[in-house]
Amino acid sequence: MQLGTRWGLGDEPPARLAENVIAAIREVEAEIGERQGWRWTLTWLESRPVVELDDGTTIRQGHDGTATIEQVD
């Protein structure tokens, strides 16, 4: 696993992310609304992005390029 970067909820995600991953990030942000101080963390696993929000919500890009959202109950 390789650490990427962190950015605030609602801020611009890293440009190197695929459009479908950015769309998934925007979908989650629209669903949960504004949360003061929450941040996203980008890491890379097997050269694919894994984006995790402070509440544990995770977006992963699969081998086929699809982005999936995993939300914690």
* Structural domain harbouring 59: 2-70
Overall pTM surpassing 0.85 (yes/no): yes
Q: Where are the beta strands (DSSP E) in 2-55?
A: 2-8, 39-45, 48-53
Predicted confidence pLDDT, tens digits, the chain (73 residues): 666 899 999 999 999 999 999 999 999 999 998 888 999 999 999 999 999 999 999 999 999 999 999 988 7
Structural domain count of the chain = 1
